[in-house]
Amino acid sequence: MADNQLVTIASYTNPFEAELAKSLLEDYGFEAVLLNERMMSMYPSIAGDMYMIELQVPEDVEEEAKRILTGLEDTDYITSILKGESALLEGHFKLTSGKHSKQYIEKIKVLQNPEATHNLCKRLASRLESYEFDCVVGPAYGGIVLAFQTAYVMNKSFLFTQRIDGEMSIRSGFDLSKIKRVAIIEDILSTGGSVNEVISCLQKSGLEIAVIGVLVDRSGGKLEFCAPLESLLSLDIPAWDPDDCELCKADIPLSKPGSSDKP
């Protein structure tokens, strides 16, 4: 018998989540392997009913690795996903708010990976499950995919808002007759302007805001709304008005990644 056998400390049906947990443990210096990963990748439609992907570590670090894995917070997971999808950018960026920043989160790189998006929405759903609401709302365009997937995970209804002639409005055709309370889902929160537009739009339609969920809060928790704010990751990233931008003063070239329908 080997002196230091591998033991299973967690099991997964989702290959992406298994790889993420393995990567996080390796970041902490643990040796980790995945058992049955190849079977799941070759036969995804049937393997989940027969096998689980097992995350294994050497027996002598079992308890320590379990504690690390159990203690990992949403911030660890979302940061790993953002880095893994090359979505955390450094430079000199113009945000949709008009302000300038040294960091930018390219959410499209995450949304392009359905597994990454699904895992983020599952974690967001777990943060919202204690709130009572009928429907999940996302603003076009970035919030639509996130709100739809979160609604699917939570078995809630879904609708989205969009700007029409510069004013945030509920997309025509949605039936509001059975909707009383809603959760708003947004991708990146910077100044809170877009979220406040959505809040005003929904309130004009007689809907009550139960909670606001975001993937990343760039304000570091400084913003307040009419409902509780739940964020998976809170970052205090400086953002300057163009006239006060330190990066402009240093003659660092400005870029405007992404696009927005915001006027």
DSSP per-residue letters across 224-256: --SS-EEEEEE-B--EE-GGG-HHHHTTPPPB-
Residues 75, 231: Cα–Cα separation, whole Å: 9
Answering whether pTM is above 0.85, one says no
Q: Where in the chain is the domain with CATH 3.40.50.2020?
A: 77-249
Residues 95, 195: Cα–Cα separation, whole Å: 15
135-139/181-189 β-pairing: parallel
pLDDT in tens, the chain (263 residues): 356 799 999 888 777 788 888 888 887 888 999 988 665 555 555 444 557 889 999 999 999 988 888 766 677 778 888 888 899 889 999 987 789 999 888 889 999 999 889 889 988 998 999 999 999 999 998 899 999 999 999 999 999 999 999 899 999 999 999 999 999 999 989 889 999 999 999 999 999 999 999 999 988 888 999 999 999 988 888 889 999 999 999 999 999 886 555 54
> Which structure tokens are listed for 37?
């990963």
Of 100, 171, 77, 184, which Cα lies nearest the Cα of 134?
A: 184
Residues 3, 30: Cα–Cα separation, whole Å: 17
77-249 maps to which CATH number?
A: 3.40.50.2020
